[in-house]
């Protein structure tokens, strides 16, 4: 199959999923064309079957906002025509589904019927997409996609609740490529460089946007380290970084926190981890939690959005109400205070993550592509 993938090339979950999917499809012999404004950060696999097409937006003094959608839809038309693409798979509705619809209409005029698959990822529905400024266009582009998928049942429910949707929505869960999560021995992991032998290592990975409630991460960690000697690894960059650094300083725990910035090697960083914190306001799936579980790390999360579909209460970790940092800290301490219990939770986390392996999820995408193409011709 010849597939075009439109995504954000950054560290966000939607771009990560799109890139991992593209690489997996190419490994299976499909021709994959990434169309975006920068090389995707997770694109670490080079092959004849992977192409990257950069979307350029020229600055012009008249424009207060640069017309990215216009440049993107023109680039899609160019790439579909040049490489005879059969399917265009866009990740994150805004503005990708809208640009794909425009490209589809332009291609129709040239006698080309490109099939558009839109995968909704979360904030494109729950936070941004349903805002009155965007809702009409987002709803229109979802309804005019050939196939729509969401990354969890919860996000499907949100989409149907917030928009007037006239299409079936397929749920295809996010996945994990276990080849990137090999079993790492204690010697290889070298956790002694980060923490003392008696200390636990706690991790949080996110884009530090308000929806992640990073202040709750600091609060939970503060409460845990009062009872259990521990260190916090904070991976990611974002608008709340400065504020939480100040919060940690005020609480006197700055020396127990390592701010590591963005990383495209989270699989390696997670080998240090005993516990993962994800106290988000909402999370359509929680790819970061799944990545932690694949690295044998139990998860303390909220019970919002799709998190209960990933993190299982009392088995792979615990789920609490948004903002209940006392409960999250109590649950974290419960897991960390016993070596035996921690090992059991680690094993359970890995077993649950395996349900979302690439091998289990990729066939759903391939079947869906085949159905779209059969429907078309």
| Ranges within 187-226 binding ligand GMT (CB under 6 A) | 207, 211
Which listed range, 9-17, 29-37, 78-86, 130-138, lies at the site for ligand GMT (CB under 6 A)? 9-17
| CB 33 within 8 Å of CB 51 | yes
101: contact with ligand GMT by CB under 6 A: no
- CA 285, 288, 289, 290 torsion: positive or negative? positive
Contact (Cβ atoms closer than 8 angstroms) between residue 119 and residue 142: no
Question: H-helix or E-strand containing 307?
Answer: helix 307-310
Q: Supply the minimum distance, in Å, between the C-beta of residue 285 and ligand GMT.
A: 4
Q: Total binding residues for ligand GMT by CB under 6 A?
A: 19
By CB under 6 A, which span of 119-127, 162-170, 265-273, 294-302 interacts with ligand GMT? 119-127
Q: Which of residues 137-156 bind ligand GMT (CB under 6 A)?
A: 151
Q: How far is the CB of 226 from ligand GMT (least distance, A)?
A: 29
In the complex, what is the shortest distance from the CB of residue 228 to ligand GMT, in angstroms, rounded to a whole number?
28
- Dihedral sign (CA 243, 310, 345, 338): positive
Does residue 40 belong to the site contacting ligand GMT (CB under 6 A)?
no
Segment 272-291, which members bind ligand GMT (CB under 6 A)? 282-287
Evaluated on CA atoms 54, 59, 65, 67, the torsion sign reads: negative
Using rule CB under 6 A, residue 17 touches ligand GMT:
yes
Q: Is 256 in contact with 222 (CB distance < 8 Å)?
A: no
Among residues 9, 12, 40, 95, the one that binds ligand GMT under rule CB under 6 A: 12
Binding-site member from 123, 203, 311, 352 for ligand GMT (CB under 6 A): 123
Distance between CA 158 and CA 160 in Å, rounded?
6
Shortest Å distance, C-beta 174 to ligand GMT:
5
Place of tokens 């109400």: 321
Is residue 365 near ligand GMT by the rule CB under 6 A? no
Query: Helices 214-225 and 325-336, interaxial angle, to 10°?
Result: 50
Tell me which residue of 349, 373, 362 sits closest to 298, measured CA to CA.
349
Q: Does 350 bind ligand GMT (CB under 6 A)?
A: no
Phi, psi of 305 (to 5 degrees): 55, -130
User: Can you give the binding site for ligand GMT, defined by CB under 6 A?
Assistant: 12-15, 17, 92, 121-123, 151, 174, 207, 211, 282-287
């Amino acid at each position: 199959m010849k597939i075009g993938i439109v995504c954000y090339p950054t560290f966000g979950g939607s771009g990560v999923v799109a890139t991992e999917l593209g690489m997996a499809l190419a490994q299976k012999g499909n021709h994959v064309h990434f169309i975006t404004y920068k090389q995707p950060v997770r694109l670490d696999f080079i092959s004849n079957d992977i192409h990257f097409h950069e979307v350029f937006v020229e600055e012009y003094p008249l424009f207060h906002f640069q017309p990215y959608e216009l440049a993107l839809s023109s680039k899609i038309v160019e790439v579909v025509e040049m490489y005879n693409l059969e399917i265009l798979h866009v990740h994150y509705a805004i503005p990708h589904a809208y640009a794909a619809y425009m490209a589809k209409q332009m291609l129709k005029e040239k006698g080309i019927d490109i099939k558009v698959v839109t995968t909704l990822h979360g904030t494109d529905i729950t936070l941004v997409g349903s805002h009155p400024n965007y809702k009409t266009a987002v709803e229109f582009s979802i309804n005019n996609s050939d196939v729509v998928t969401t990354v969890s049942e919860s996000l499907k429910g949100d989409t149907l609740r917030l928009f007037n949707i006239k299409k079936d929505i397929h749920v295809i869960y996010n996945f994990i490529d276990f080849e990137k999560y090999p079993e790492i021995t204690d010697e290889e992991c070298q956790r002694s460089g980060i923490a003392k032998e008696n200390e636990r290592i706690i991790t949080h990975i996110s884009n530090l946007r308000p929806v992640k409630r990073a202040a709750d991460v600091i609060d939970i960690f503060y409460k845990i380290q009062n009872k259990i000697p521990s260190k916090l690894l904070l991976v990611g960059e974002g608008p709340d970084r400065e504020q939480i650094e100040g919060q940690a300083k005020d609480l006197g725990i700055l020396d127990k926190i390592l701010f590591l910035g963005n990383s495209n090697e989270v699989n390696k960083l997670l080998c240090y981890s005993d516990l993962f914190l994800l106290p988000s306001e909402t999370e359509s799936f929680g790819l970061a939690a799944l990545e932690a579980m694949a690295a044998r790390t139990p998860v303390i999360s909220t019970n919002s959005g799709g998190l209960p579909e990933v993190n299982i209460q009392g088995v792979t970790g615990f789920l609490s109400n948004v903002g209940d940092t006392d409960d999250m800290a109590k649950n974290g301490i419960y897991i960390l205070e016993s070596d035996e219990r921690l090992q059991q939770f680690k094993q359970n986390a890995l077993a649950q993550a395996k349900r979302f392996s690439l091998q289990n999820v990729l066939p759903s995408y391939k079947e869906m592509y085949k159905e779209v193409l059969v429907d078309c011709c």
